[in-house]
Structure 1
């Protein structure tokens, strides 16, 4: 391992220069104007995997943005590790809140700032460099490796389900590893054993044929913004409990031992308040912050707009109003069923004087991993060798929709080995990645690949 450490130290500047070039590509999968940028990122990955020394590296088409595949399968009788990541990123709005341009990476205060630095270009890139380090210092890998890196994770992996279904033999492996989750906190690594699912809907409210003068028509015609606010307010009470009929029907209460395991993590809510600069935390009564964000479902308004948005006042009754909603779901909740329940609620609670339409967007099923497999212990030991503290087994409030697909179709252990921190602003302005975890993460991945060759390979 000493040769590996020396190699990584010697090549650190070069690796960060490469990561900078990767982060400069504005591969925003949600915006059609960035379609060619997304493909440019795929080509960058393809070239990088070739340079790393992998075989059969290729860009494979889907019904949308492509995936990049590569393999190294020369470790006879050893297990095969499938590494999944994504090269697409979230939109950058609001751009004015970025301290430095989102696609001009800047290293300061021991962090690299750029869109995708933590989610997920930086973490995916680490696996590529760990493989490179092993090949350069040892001439071979201790296990067989396959890479699958996609370009649609940030829009719900909408074409990856069918790709996985159609390419089961290509993707066959003994363990799937993903680095797209956070550690518990600085210096406290975590293996994530559960993800919440996702259901998202846009609500469009239409009143009069156009905006109306509020003096001439105010009090006589429904205001679309008022109607939308009334409707949204009917979905959740003042303590955060969701009022959609049937929403909680499939939600299982925490068992006493599960609640105890969360308590033993000693999660400090006061630190969270300080980091977020909020006076108090908020959420469903009777649950802790971890319980609310890991094992309870949510309904959140992600955006609401309508009427006059400019400086000053314009006295109109808006003709239209719009809202975007996402629900984070827990095991046994089905995203399509939740969307139907919301649509039913909208129909029952529709304010007078408007028409309402809905559009479904991203969805994904929740995931919970059985951790009895030996590979989980090996991953935990790899972290502990580098960070010198016990690993926390956690859940995550976010969603990686394709994880449930991998679990259902490929039927292999899925280890979520994240190296980001919850405070790194993924999906927000000033996203960044701590270089301390870039350095330690590379070593952790190398330890894992060295040790996971102990498990039995599928025949």
Structure 2
């Protein structure tokens, strides 16, 4: 099976591929807002029709939320690896709309000194990314009439809203959809032009509590001084979460955390990551995490405890002399290694409850989840194939990288279906995902398609 002819087809049909991407980007598939439920259905239908057009048996599967898209290849070659491709067609809300330079659902090509970009909500996360794989399949089908390996598609429409229908659907369809490995294109490159494969993902623990003091809001002229002020007390509690070096001070927090092997640290130092640029992009001059660790280690290999929301009392215009009855705090922890989210939740809550002052009461949100970190086996042949394919396409050696974020689907593939995941994507740090003016480099789209074509060809040789 000639790969050169497939790559030539990808190059020659890039304009058509861009038009198809624009068509998907025009659909306002915002999953978290019920007002866009019909648009999410429309995006699922669009993908079903597109996959059918290249010979896949594709269906929209109804769930209690937004539909799943499932597709199988009726002409799959026998005796080849069977891979599952995962992506999501839903997008984040566009607010604040007035900060967009172009309408978020009117995809626009912009010329920039470093190369053209396509600007629209979902261009990078995740519509542009998932279409790189579909376009690679389209080129194989056109040139050879069939794929080099067996492929199943599985795409959801709730990734940006917590995936409430995902686990029940996966449990109900385990036998149909379990493959040799899952391919995920929802990640980025460690630096522009540096092809990257995720070797580990941090896990996530979410928690939230309300600290209640007085029985009602109090007048600070009558009770200021004698009253327990929940805002003051919650601030004191939060201050105990870290020591002066940035290390988390919750007992047992670091259980399951291991140091990064020196060989891996050496590889990370040569992966193209620019710490100064990374920090300056966020308006910082130094890293503010644990002392003794680089920004890259803090992001990829160290656990965190972050305060994501803190509120209480009067927040309107002007002044209100009130001592609030309660105060609220939202927390997330990023997990690494073998950290157990259930044990960590218990340790965190004990830390807080042991420090409650007299007359204070705490209430915890009982509906928040946790997920363990994922560590990939990069010795598997699929990872070897991916590194070779990316290195050939981008003309520099691909790197295995950690990821600071959490992609729960990778954990679910492992825990529910017993499948490993391989994550490689082509986004850049400046793509503004989840923010106004999201964009995707045209080079990322073009070379992403070519990269997947090379990857599928390599897999067929295993």
Fold shared by both chains (TM-score > 0.5): yes
Structure 2 CA distance, aligned partners of 1:223 and 1:47?
59
Q: Post-superposition shift, 1:339?
A: 2.0
Name which of 411, 420, 436 aligns with 2:427.
Answer: 420
Equivalent residue number for residue 154 of structure 2: 148
Per the alignment, do residues 202 and 432 of structure 1 end up closer, same or farther by CA in structure 2, a change over 3 Å counting? farther
Q: Post-superposition shift, 1:270?
A: 1.6
Q: Post-superposition shift, 1:122?
A: 1.6
Query: How does 1:142-221 map onto structure 2 within 5 Å?
Result: 142-208=148-214, 210-221=216-227
**2:343 is equivalent to residue 337 of structure 1:** yes
- Residue 190 of structure 2 contacts residue 272 of structure 2 at CA under 8 Å; is this kept in 1? no
Deviation readout 1:198-229 (Å, 9 max, x if unpaired): 11112223344554443343333333333332
Equivalent residue number for residue 346 of structure 1: 352
Per the alignment, do residues 343 and 317 of structure 1 end up closer, same or farther by CA in structure 2, a change over 3 Å counting? same
- Residue 425 of structure 1 contacts residue 431 of structure 1 at CA under 8 Å; is this kept in 2? yes
Equivalent residue number for residue 368 of structure 2: 361
- Residue 196 of structure 1 contacts residue 399 of structure 1 at CA under 8 Å; is this kept in 2? yes
Equivalent residue number for residue 45 of structure 1: 47
Q: Post-superposition shift, 1:390?
A: 0.2
User: What SS is found at the alignment partner of 2:431?
Assistant: coil
Per the alignment, do residues 102 and 236 of structure 1 end up closer, same or farther by CA in structure 2, a change over 3 Å counting? farther
Per the alignment, do residues 307 and 48 of structure 1 end up closer, same or farther by CA in structure 2, a change over 3 Å counting? farther
- Residue 373 of structure 1 contacts residue 413 of structure 1 at CA under 8 Å; is this kept in 2? no
Structure 1 unaligned segments of length 5 or more: list them: none
Q: Post-superposition shift, 1:382?
A: 1.4
- Residue 182 of structure 1 contacts residue 422 of structure 1 at CA under 8 Å; is this kept in 2? yes
**2:264 is equivalent to residue 288 of structure 1:** no
Structure 2 CA distance, aligned partners of 1:190 and 1:217?
59
Name which of 3, 11, 14 aligns with 1:12.
Answer: 14
- Residue 28 of structure 1 contacts residue 37 of structure 1 at CA under 8 Å; is this kept in 2? yes
RMSD after superposition: 2.5
**2:48 is equivalent to residue 66 of structure 1:** no
Deviation readout 1:339-392 (Å, 9 max, x if unpaired): 222222222223454432222424322111111122212111211222100001
- Residue 363 of structure 1 contacts residue 401 of structure 1 at CA under 8 Å; is this kept in 2? no
Structure 2 unaligned segments of length 5 or more: list them: none
- Residue 7 of structure 2 contacts residue 453 of structure 2 at CA under 8 Å; is this kept in 1? no
Per the alignment, do residues 106 and 302 of structure 1 end up closer, same or farther by CA in structure 2, a change over 3 Å counting? farther
Q: Post-superposition shift, 1:5?
A: 4.2
Per the alignment, do residues 318 and 98 of structure 1 end up closer, same or farther by CA in structure 2, a change over 3 Å counting? farther
Name which of 48, 54, 57 aligns with 2:56.
Answer: 54
Name which of 304, 324, 344 aligns with 1:298.
Answer: 304
Structure 2 CA distance, aligned partners of 1:31 and 1:356?
31
Query: Taking structure 2 as the reference length, what is the TM-score of the superposition?
Result: 0.90
User: What SS is found at the alignment partner of 1:326?
Assistant: strand
Structure 2 CA distance, aligned partners of 1:216 and 1:102?
52
- Larger displacement relative to structure 2 (323-332 or 208-217): 208-217
Structure 2 CA distance, aligned partners of 1:95 and 1:342?
38
- Residue 410 of structure 2 contacts residue 420 of structure 2 at CA under 8 Å; is this kept in 1? no
User: What SS is found at the alignment partner of 1:170?
Assistant: helix
User: What SS is found at the alignment partner of 1:300?
Assistant: strand
Per the alignment, do residues 309 and 429 of structure 1 end up closer, same or farther by CA in structure 2, a change over 3 Å counting? farther
Q: Post-superposition shift, 1:266?
A: 5.4
**2:230 is equivalent to residue 229 of structure 1:** no
Per the alignment, do residues 50 and 224 of structure 1 end up closer, same or farther by CA in structure 2, a change over 3 Å counting? farther
Name which of 98, 103, 106 aligns with 2:108.
Answer: 106
Deviation readout 1:221-253 (Å, 9 max, x if unpaired): 333333332222222234321122211122122
Structure 2 CA distance, aligned partners of 1:4 and 1:306?
59
Structure 2 CA distance, aligned partners of 1:100 and 1:157?
29
Per the alignment, do residues 100 and 219 of structure 1 end up closer, same or farther by CA in structure 2, a change over 3 Å counting? farther
- Larger displacement relative to structure 2 (401-410 or 446-455): 401-410
Equivalent residue number for residue 83 of structure 1: 85
Deviation readout 1:71-106 (Å, 9 max, x if unpaired): 114212222221011122334455554444444433
Equivalent residue number for residue 400 of structure 1: 407
How many equivalent pairs are there? 454
Equivalent residue number for residue 383 of structure 1: 390
Query: Taking structure 1 as the reference length, what is the TM-score of the superposition?
Result: 0.90
Equivalent residue number for residue 371 of structure 1: 378
**2:446 is equivalent to residue 439 of structure 1:** yes
Structure 1 CA distance, aligned partners of 2:155 and 2:380?
24
User: What SS is found at the alignment partner of 1:15?
Assistant: helix
- Residue 420 of structure 1 contacts residue 437 of structure 1 at CA under 8 Å; is this kept in 2? yes
Structure 1 CA distance, aligned partners of 2:395 and 2:163?
35
Structure 2 CA distance, aligned partners of 1:351 and 1:424?
46
- Residue 157 of structure 1 contacts residue 401 of structure 1 at CA under 8 Å; is this kept in 2? no
